[in-house]
Amino acid sequence: MKIICVGRNYLAHVKELDNDLPSEPMFFMKPETALLPEGKPFLYPDFSKEIHYETELVLRICKTGKNIAENDAPYYYNAITVGIDFTARDLQSQCKAKGHPWEVAKAFDGSAPVGKFQEISKLKNPGDITFGMKRNGEWAQQGCSRDMIFSFDKIIAHVSRFVTLQDGDLIFTGTPQGVGEVCVGDVLELFLEGKMVFSVVVK
Protein backbone atom coordinates (compact mmCIF):
# COMPACT_ATOMS: atom_id res chain seq x y z
CA MET A 1 0.00 0.00 0.00
CA LYS A 2 0.99 3.60 -0.34
CA ILE A 3 0.16 6.83 1.43
CA ILE A 4 -0.63 9.85 -0.70
CA CYS A 5 -0.65 13.27 0.97
CA VAL A 6 -2.21 16.41 -0.41
CA GLY A 7 -0.58 19.70 0.53
CA ARG A 8 -2.05 23.21 0.65
CA ASN A 9 -5.72 22.26 0.70
CA TYR A 10 -7.04 24.78 3.23
CA LEU A 11 -6.79 28.49 2.50
CA ALA A 12 -5.94 29.61 6.05
CA HIS A 13 -3.10 27.07 6.23
CA VAL A 14 -1.70 28.11 2.82
CA LYS A 15 -1.58 31.67 4.20
CA GLU A 16 -0.01 30.74 7.56
CA LEU A 17 2.98 29.14 5.77
CA ASP A 18 3.09 31.96 3.20
CA ASN A 19 2.68 29.50 0.29
CA ASP A 20 1.08 30.14 -3.11
CA LEU A 21 -2.47 28.96 -3.68
CA PRO A 22 -2.38 25.83 -5.88
CA SER A 23 -4.43 25.72 -9.10
CA GLU A 24 -4.69 21.92 -8.84
CA PRO A 25 -4.08 19.53 -5.94
CA MET A 26 -0.39 19.03 -5.14
CA PHE A 27 0.63 15.74 -3.61
CA PHE A 28 3.56 13.74 -2.33
CA MET A 29 3.86 10.23 -0.89
CA LYS A 30 4.94 8.47 2.27
CA PRO A 31 5.91 4.80 2.39
CA GLU A 32 4.10 2.12 4.40
CA THR A 33 6.88 2.34 7.03
CA ALA A 34 5.57 5.83 7.91
CA LEU A 35 2.54 4.24 9.60
CA LEU A 36 2.64 4.27 13.40
CA PRO A 37 0.88 1.35 15.08
CA GLU A 38 -1.63 2.19 17.84
CA GLY A 39 0.08 2.14 21.21
CA LYS A 40 3.58 2.87 19.86
CA PRO A 41 5.08 6.27 20.73
CA PHE A 42 6.21 8.72 18.09
CA LEU A 43 9.98 8.86 18.49
CA TYR A 44 11.27 12.39 17.95
CA PRO A 45 13.87 11.90 15.19
CA ASP A 46 17.47 13.00 15.72
CA PHE A 47 17.71 14.67 12.28
CA SER A 48 15.26 17.46 13.03
CA LYS A 49 14.85 20.18 15.64
CA GLU A 50 11.43 21.29 14.41
CA ILE A 51 8.83 18.55 14.04
CA HIS A 52 5.37 19.92 13.27
CA TYR A 53 1.98 18.22 13.50
CA GLU A 54 -0.49 18.56 10.63
CA THR A 55 -3.88 17.08 11.53
CA GLU A 56 -5.70 15.74 8.48
CA LEU A 57 -8.72 13.74 7.35
CA VAL A 58 -7.52 10.44 5.85
CA LEU A 59 -9.47 8.47 3.23
CA ARG A 60 -9.09 4.76 2.63
CA ILE A 61 -9.31 3.56 -0.96
CA CYS A 62 -11.50 0.45 -1.42
CA LYS A 63 -11.11 -0.30 -5.14
CA THR A 64 -8.32 -0.17 -7.69
CA GLY A 65 -8.66 2.62 -10.24
CA LYS A 66 -6.83 4.75 -12.77
CA ASN A 67 -8.06 7.94 -14.47
CA ILE A 68 -11.07 8.00 -12.16
CA ALA A 69 -13.72 10.57 -13.16
CA GLU A 70 -14.68 13.00 -10.41
CA ASN A 71 -18.31 11.75 -10.55
CA ASP A 72 -17.17 8.16 -10.01
CA ALA A 73 -14.71 8.95 -7.22
CA PRO A 74 -17.13 8.18 -4.33
CA TYR A 75 -17.10 4.51 -5.41
CA TYR A 76 -13.37 4.33 -4.70
CA TYR A 77 -13.30 5.22 -0.98
CA ASN A 78 -15.53 4.07 1.84
CA ALA A 79 -13.76 4.85 5.10
CA ILE A 80 -12.32 7.88 6.80
CA THR A 81 -10.32 8.78 9.88
CA VAL A 82 -7.93 11.41 11.17
CA GLY A 83 -4.15 11.20 10.96
CA ILE A 84 -1.07 13.33 11.52
CA ASP A 85 1.24 14.26 8.68
CA PHE A 86 4.34 14.75 10.86
CA THR A 87 6.71 17.13 9.11
CA ALA A 88 10.32 18.05 9.81
CA ARG A 89 9.66 21.71 9.07
CA ASP A 90 13.33 22.70 9.32
CA LEU A 91 14.32 20.11 6.70
CA GLN A 92 11.31 20.96 4.54
CA SER A 93 12.34 24.65 4.48
CA GLN A 94 15.84 23.60 3.33
CA CYS A 95 14.32 21.35 0.63
CA LYS A 96 12.06 24.15 -0.58
CA ALA A 97 14.96 26.62 -0.72
CA LYS A 98 17.09 24.20 -2.75
CA GLY A 99 14.23 22.96 -4.94
CA HIS A 100 14.77 19.44 -3.61
CA PRO A 101 12.12 16.74 -3.05
CA TRP A 102 10.46 16.66 0.37
CA GLU A 103 10.90 13.01 1.35
CA VAL A 104 13.46 13.58 4.11
CA ALA A 105 11.03 16.03 5.72
CA LYS A 106 7.84 14.04 5.21
CA ALA A 107 8.35 10.32 4.59
CA PHE A 108 10.37 9.25 7.63
CA ASP A 109 9.42 6.30 9.87
CA GLY A 110 6.43 6.97 12.10
CA SER A 111 5.50 10.18 10.27
CA ALA A 112 1.94 9.00 9.52
CA PRO A 113 -0.07 8.01 12.61
CA VAL A 114 -3.57 7.10 11.44
CA GLY A 115 -6.66 6.62 13.61
CA LYS A 116 -9.35 3.96 13.60
CA PHE A 117 -11.36 4.11 10.35
CA GLN A 118 -15.11 4.81 10.27
CA GLU A 119 -17.45 4.00 7.41
CA ILE A 120 -18.22 7.24 5.56
CA SER A 121 -21.82 6.15 4.93
CA LYS A 122 -22.39 6.02 8.69
CA LEU A 123 -21.30 9.62 9.29
CA LYS A 124 -24.06 12.14 10.01
CA ASN A 125 -23.15 14.50 7.20
CA PRO A 126 -20.38 13.24 4.89
CA GLY A 127 -20.10 16.67 3.22
CA ASP A 128 -19.38 18.40 6.48
CA ILE A 129 -16.96 16.28 8.49
CA THR A 130 -15.44 17.88 11.57
CA PHE A 131 -12.10 16.79 12.99
CA GLY A 132 -9.35 18.00 15.26
CA MET A 133 -6.42 17.31 17.51
CA LYS A 134 -5.86 18.02 21.20
CA ARG A 135 -2.30 18.53 22.37
CA ASN A 136 -1.94 17.84 26.07
CA GLY A 137 -5.69 18.21 26.52
CA GLU A 138 -6.09 21.55 24.67
CA TRP A 139 -7.41 21.98 21.14
CA ALA A 140 -4.44 22.56 18.82
CA GLN A 141 -6.25 22.21 15.49
CA GLN A 142 -9.88 21.98 14.43
CA GLY A 143 -11.14 21.69 10.88
CA CYS A 144 -14.08 20.82 8.67
CA SER A 145 -14.09 19.12 5.27
CA ARG A 146 -16.27 21.89 3.82
CA ASP A 147 -13.24 24.24 4.01
CA MET A 148 -11.09 22.15 1.66
CA ILE A 149 -9.98 23.87 -1.54
CA PHE A 150 -10.12 20.54 -3.43
CA SER A 151 -12.85 18.02 -2.49
CA PHE A 152 -12.17 14.33 -1.86
CA ASP A 153 -13.52 13.58 -5.34
CA LYS A 154 -11.34 16.18 -7.07
CA ILE A 155 -8.28 14.85 -5.25
CA ILE A 156 -8.99 11.27 -6.34
CA ALA A 157 -9.62 12.30 -9.95
CA HIS A 158 -6.38 14.27 -10.04
CA VAL A 159 -4.09 11.79 -8.27
CA SER A 160 -5.38 8.82 -10.30
CA ARG A 161 -4.34 10.52 -13.54
CA PHE A 162 -0.73 9.95 -12.44
CA VAL A 163 -0.82 7.06 -9.97
CA THR A 164 -3.06 3.98 -9.94
CA LEU A 165 -4.99 3.89 -6.68
CA GLN A 166 -5.26 0.46 -5.06
CA ASP A 167 -7.45 -1.09 -2.40
CA GLY A 168 -5.99 -0.14 0.97
CA ASP A 169 -4.11 2.99 -0.13
CA LEU A 170 -4.53 6.01 2.14
CA ILE A 171 -4.96 9.64 1.17
CA PHE A 172 -4.15 12.44 3.62
CA THR A 173 -6.29 15.35 2.45
CA GLY A 174 -4.42 18.36 3.85
CA THR A 175 -4.24 20.25 7.12
CA PRO A 176 -6.31 23.20 8.27
CA GLN A 177 -4.60 26.15 9.96
CA GLY A 178 -2.89 25.91 13.32
CA VAL A 179 0.06 23.65 12.57
CA GLY A 180 2.76 23.80 15.22
CA GLU A 181 5.69 22.16 16.91
CA VAL A 182 5.55 19.06 19.07
CA CYS A 183 7.81 18.47 22.08
CA VAL A 184 9.00 15.29 23.75
CA GLY A 185 6.37 14.34 26.35
CA ASP A 186 3.39 15.68 24.36
CA VAL A 187 0.21 13.63 24.18
CA LEU A 188 -1.69 14.11 20.92
CA GLU A 189 -5.32 12.95 20.62
CA LEU A 190 -7.13 12.83 17.28
CA PHE A 191 -10.89 13.37 16.96
CA LEU A 192 -13.36 12.62 14.18
CA GLU A 193 -16.87 14.09 14.60
CA GLY A 194 -16.12 14.59 18.29
CA LYS A 195 -14.99 11.00 18.91
CA MET A 196 -11.38 10.15 19.77
CA VAL A 197 -9.91 7.84 17.10
CA PHE A 198 -6.21 7.77 18.07
CA SER A 199 -3.76 8.99 20.66
CA VAL A 200 0.01 9.08 20.55
CA VAL A 201 2.78 10.10 22.91
CA VAL A 202 5.92 11.89 21.65
CA LYS A 203 9.11 10.33 23.08
**Where do the H-state alpha helices sit in the chain?**
11-16, 89-98, 103-106, 152-162
Q: Which stretch binds Mg ion (CB under 5 A): 10-18, 27-35, 78-86, 132-140?
A: 78-86
Q: Which is nearer to Mg ion, 66 or 96 (CB)?
A: 96
Find the shortest distance in angstroms from Cβ 178 to Mg ion.
12
Q: Which of 53, 82, 85, 198 binds Mg ion (CB under 5 A)?
A: 85
Round to whole Å and give the CA distance between 48 and 16. Answer: 21
Instruction: Name which of residues 155 to 184 contact Mg ion (CB under 5 A).
Output: 175
Residue of this chain nearest to Mg ion (CB atom): 85
Q: Which is nearer to Mg ion, 112 or 197 (CB)?
A: 112
DSSP string, 107-147: SSTT-EEB---EEGGGSS-TTS-EEEEEETTEEEEEEEGGG
Q: Which is nearer to Mg ion, 85 or 169 (CB)?
A: 85
**Contact in structure between 176 and 140 (CB atoms under 8 Å):** no
Q: Which stretch binds Mg ion (CB under 5 A): 13-21, 60-68, 85-93, 195-203?
A: 85-93
DSSP run (H or E) holding 59: strand 55-61
Instruction: Name which of residues 42 to 61 contact Mg ion (CB under 5 A).
Output: 54
Q: Which stretch binds Mg ion (CB under 5 A): 16-24, 79-87, 142-150, 155-163?
A: 79-87
Residue 141 found at the interface with Mg ion (CB under 5 A):
no
Find the shortest distance in angstroms from Cβ 174 to Mg ion.
6
CA atoms within 13 A on the CB side of 163: 20
Q: Which is nearer to Mg ion, 64 or 144 (CB)?
A: 144
16 phi and psi angles, rounded to 5 deg:
-65, -25
Closest CA to 190 of 142, 148, 146: 142
Q: Which stretch binds Mg ion (CB under 5 A): 37-45, 84-92, 115-123, 180-188?
A: 84-92
Residue 128 C-alpha from the chain's centroid: 17
Q: Which is nearer to Mg ion, 3 or 157 (CB)?
A: 3
Round to whole Å and give the CA distance between 91 and 81. Answer: 27
**For binding to Mg ion (CB under 5 A), which residues are involved?**
54, 85, 175
